[in-house]
Structure 1
Amino acid sequence: MAAGERVVVVGAGVAGLTTAVVLAEAGASVHVIAEQVPGVTSLAAGAMWGPYLVEPKDKVDRWGQRSLEIFRELAEDPATGVRLTSGIEASRTAEAPPDWATALPGFRPCGPAELPAGFSTGYRFTVPLIDMPTYLDYLLRRLDAAGGTVERRRLASLLEADPATVIVNCTGLGAKDLLPDPGLRPIRGQHVVVTNPGLTEFFSEDTGLSPDLLCFYPHGETVVLGGTAIDGEGGVASDDDAVAGILARCAEVEPRLAAARVLEHRIGARPTRATVRVEADRRENGAVVVHNYGHGGAGVTLSWGCADEVRRLVGLTLLGPTAEE
């Protein structure tokens, strides 16, 4: 990548900020444009690393592994909001473990005594947990240190991001109308943040395609409880019935949570499509756009791997198909 080339990244969720950091640290002059900084959907994430329910599998596996490597490094610095945490993923039916989990440190099947009532199988492993408000602030600081700039502005078209050598589209659900992309749809997610009654390990249920999720992720003095996955709904107003369901499901597994004080509701709309889109596109006016969106509920999990892919595509755009990084 030629040093100083102007790249505009549209979107300031975890995909946009991570991509901006990678490009700025590679030598590009990066300018981020976004209506919300940081993005609301990314702020609402739980967030635990795990490439779940997202395609295409071969690329997702590669992108997820790259992100896992970096999250492990970031976990060495408490200021990043990333911690390596042990816990259990369990199922109420006899299920094989997800293939991405079997290679994680400490992976082993749970004995019956380790599982809550009603669960038939479970697996213990250690995985990165990310406290999203802290982590997104860290990414903004890192971008600033690399010389990147941020502008809060709503775009009606990607062409409004000019002048730029390359525009990187990290608009998440906004791409549905901005491009447009009719294959993009929202999946509404809601989490509840409560005081931590002493939990140090995570718990997650493999609920498959159910809209009612069950997970809790401890982040120091707080715990993020989840959750919901309402396909086709993109509203971000709090749903009291959903909150009651989340609290009841989590307290049934971990009774100490029943007395925890609710601190905050976090709601976002996961940008979901049949496959994650990371590719370059030349517009009719000659502008080059590199897309990086459609990560569903795996935006954090894939963030660093997809950002590296964008860096490669931007390099090819600027230097040609024979360029070597």
Structure 2
Amino acid sequence: MSEQIIIIGSGVSGLTTALTLQLLGYETAIYTEKTITDISNKNGHPEFASLFPSASIIPHSVYSNQLEKLFKRSQYIFYELRKLAFPGITINKHYELWESEPNRPDYCNWMLNFEAVSNTEIEKLPHRPVVDKLYGWSFNCIFADWSLYLPALLHTYLQNGGTIRQQKVNRETISDLPAEIIINCSSTGSPYLFDDPSNKQLVVRGHLLHKADAPLLTNSNGEIVSYNYTPKAEIYSDSKGKAADVYCYPRKDGWILGGSRQVGTLENEEWQVSEDYYEIDGIRFPKQIIDLNSRIINTFFETELSIKNELTPSVGYRYIRNKKNGLRLESETVANKKVIHNYGHGGAGVTLSWGCALAVTSHVNNNSADENKQTLLKEIQQ
């Protein structure tokens, strides 16, 4: 195939979509104003979500009526990549735990080795030292170690003939782009490039801390352990008083600690800021990210974490678009070009990256996503 396709946006969705199309025989070019490798101060670009992924392959904070099939296809590709020893893909024993009984999300049915927790073995679960009852589950979870996975993804794209052109695209220049098919992966830039049928453009602001050179956290079976932990609301809650979670995701380059989920809009970036905060390098973040994680890590892993450690804070946005059907994965005609939208992934940009890329490809070649998946796997295995 010689037909050129232009992808707008160089985050994980744009890069994965471009690589998928490139491997399926299309000539692709990514158009982007900035790339991840160019940015030295990532806190100056909170809208560039691919600078800040925790990269757990779990469909958190995303809304779509296609979620199950997109997730399952994406999860399948990640597992196949792991078999091929693609850099950065690991599997953790992941816990999602609550101190009050939660509603069970649908994705629990899609995770491998899912198991409800038992309070008779609470000492085997990550927990606060004063807690004697927990709810939740564990499962095998794929993680993309970002310091390894993203460079490998970029290298694979370029190695297979893809190109990246650093050029700002705006609404007026869409018609001048030298391709008849445009894939829009511009995330928060999308409403400024194209008309969006959604009235309210929601983003979630999140705080992360990176503890470099921290050891991998493992259990007695030698499995790498990660967790999301939600205490009672009086211990940690969001601006509406709903119980909020913290987490720790160990990676080869250290721990990623979170979290916060502060909802705002693209038009009005006014965030509800907790009065209970720590500050590092001028960045304020909820103190529970350190205090709660410290108690859990010390109790369960017998490892220390404190504000006195060398911690690097970051603040990034997750673009959820809206809560009715946030992910936009559809095509339209704009300036006599076929534009396929792929944005609004919320906290699941990495998680859904391959599933969405396969869906985009179906808009291009009219094959089913599963047909494209099998062709893609053959190309990857070569």
Shorter-chain TM-score range: 0.7 to 0.9
SS at match of 2:161: coil
CA distance in 2, matches of 1:194, 1:215: 13
C-alpha spacing 1:232/1:164, structure 2 compared with 1 (3 Å)? same
Displacement after TM superposition at 1:185 (Å): 2.5
Alignment of 1:1-325 (within 5 A): 3-38=1-36, 40-57=48-65, 59-77=66-84, 79-112=86-119, 113=122, 114-115=124-125, 116-117=127-128, 118=131, 120-157=134-171, 159=174, 162-181=177-196, 182-195=199-212, 196-199=214-217, 200-205=224-229, 210=238, 212-232=244-264, 240-242=283-285, 244-255=287-298, 256-259=303-306, 261-274=309-322, 275-283=326-334, 285-316=335-366
Q: Are 1:250 and 1:257, in contact at CA under 8 Å, matched by a contact in 2? A: no
Deviation of residue 78 (structure 1)? 5.0
Q: Percent identity, aligned pairs only?
A: 27
SS in 2 for 1:258: coil
Structure 1 letter corresponding to 2:295: E
Deviates more, 1:260-269 or 1:192-201: 260-269
Mapped to 2, the partners of 1:180 and 1:262 lie a distance apart of 44
Q: CA separation in 2, counterparts of 1:161 and 1:47?
A: 35
1:300 Cα offset (Å) = 1.1
Quickly say closer, same or farther: Cα 1:183–1:257, change in 2 above 3 A: farther
Pair 1:79–1:262, CA change in 2 (3 A): farther
Residue of structure 1 in register with 2:43 after alignment: none
2:274 aligned partner: none
Structure number, greater radius of gyration: 2
What secondary structure is seen at the aligned counterpart in 2 of 1:241?
strand
| 198 and 302 in structure 1: CA distance in 2 versus 1, 3 angstrom threshold | closer
What are structure 2's unaligned runs of at least 5 residues? 37-46, 218-223, 270-279, 373-382
Structure 1 length-normalised TM: 0.87
What's the offset of the Cα at 1:161? 6.2
CA distance, structure 1, for counterparts of residue 332 and residue 115 of structure 2: 44
Gaps of 5+ in 1: none
SS of match in other structure, 1:191: strand
Give the number of aligned pairs: 316
Once the two structures are superposed, residues 95-120 of structure 1 have per-residue CA deviations (whole angstroms, 9 ceiling, x without a partner) of 24333224423321222213413462
Superposed CA RMSD: 2.8
What's the CA shift string for 1:35-61, capped at 9, x where partnerless? 22238311201021112342223x111
After TM superposition, the score normalised by the length of structure 2 is 0.75
8 A Cα contact 1:238 1:267, kept in partner: no
Decide whether the 8 Å contact of 1:82 with 1:135 is kept in 2.
yes
